[in-house]
Amino acid sequence: MPDRVLPSLNAVRSFVAVARHLSFTRAADELSVTQGAVSRMMQTLQADLGVELIRRVGRGIELTPTGAAFYGEASAALDRIAAAARAARAQEGGVLRVSALPTLTQRWLIPRLKGFQAENPEIQVEVSVGEHRVDFAKERIDVAIRYGVEEWPGAEIATLMPEAMGVFCAPSLLEQGPPLHHPADLAQHRLLQHTTRPDSWRVYLAAFGLPLPEAALSLAFEHFFMIIEAASAGMGVALLPVFLVGDDVASGRLVQPFTETLRPRGRYLIAHAPGAERARRVRRFKEWLLTEVG
């Protein structure tokens, strides 16, 4: 039988925090305890192991070689314990934490969530927005919806849907501005730019053999929902994912002056930790997402 004489988990957590920050003060802040409590935990752990893990250097501290080796192993072990605990808590029902792109969340996901909850009332959904590549071993996120990430270490990914980009503007722009009947007419209009996809207009125009009129790119926004509002206000012409603006077109806030669209190489993705589908809440949500786009 393996030797299971383990040190205090709280002491190990304290050491990992100290080693990460090389500071008792910052470790105490992270753990929401006093600096004295962290110091006592460190003394307990070193006495328990019978080795020195940290040492004073001038006014600071550093890891000993043994401490550095122990930090790597202990930090990874705590990550595994945290991941196992999350999986155990949520095998049936529980809280499902979803992180999705801001405009997709606002315009596509939230309006549909009522259907998921009606089918799965035992699952509590918590939605946040984000665009970064989630580290599922460290972040409290079960499912992420992102765009265009082809490789994602530490995650399983599946295609949610491809993307079609179309040109949209306010009806007043067609009535009062220069002609806008073909992609070539875009050179006479202000083009609203997406700051996180700065090449979108260039790629779109290049698909029709057209150059990018640099002078037209005078307004830029971080998120698609901002661009949608700017276009609706008549501030310029927008290049937008078609699926995000169906309601705006139906209500007359936006019009699509011509039907030429671009299908970028990127795609919308569903991502989760490897094996996370064993949890019913993750499996049911993923199945529901794929049904919604089906």
Unique residue bearing structure tokens 């509002």? 229
Low-confidence ranges of the chain (pLDDT < 50): 1
Q: Model-level pTM?
A: 0.67
Q: How far is CA 121 from CA 72, 113, 142, in A?
A: 41, 11, 18
Percent of the chain with pLDDT over 90: 80
Cα 249 to Cα 11, 136, 169, 170, 232: the distances in Å are: 59, 37, 10, 9, 10
| pLDDT value for 234 | 95
What pLDDT, in 10s, does the model give residues 140-192? Answer: 999 999 998 678 888 999 999 999 999 999 999 999 879 999 999 999 999 99
pLDDT of the residue at 124: 92
pLDDT of residue 1: 43
Q: What is the C-alpha separation between 106 and 85, in angstroms, rounded?
A: 31
Secondary element (H or E) of residue 158: strand 156-162
- The residue written with tokens 């008792």 in the block is 24
Comparing CA positions, the residue from 253, 83, 239 lying closest to residue 166 is: 239
**Are 273 and 148 spatial neighbours (Cβ–Cβ below 8 Å)?**
no
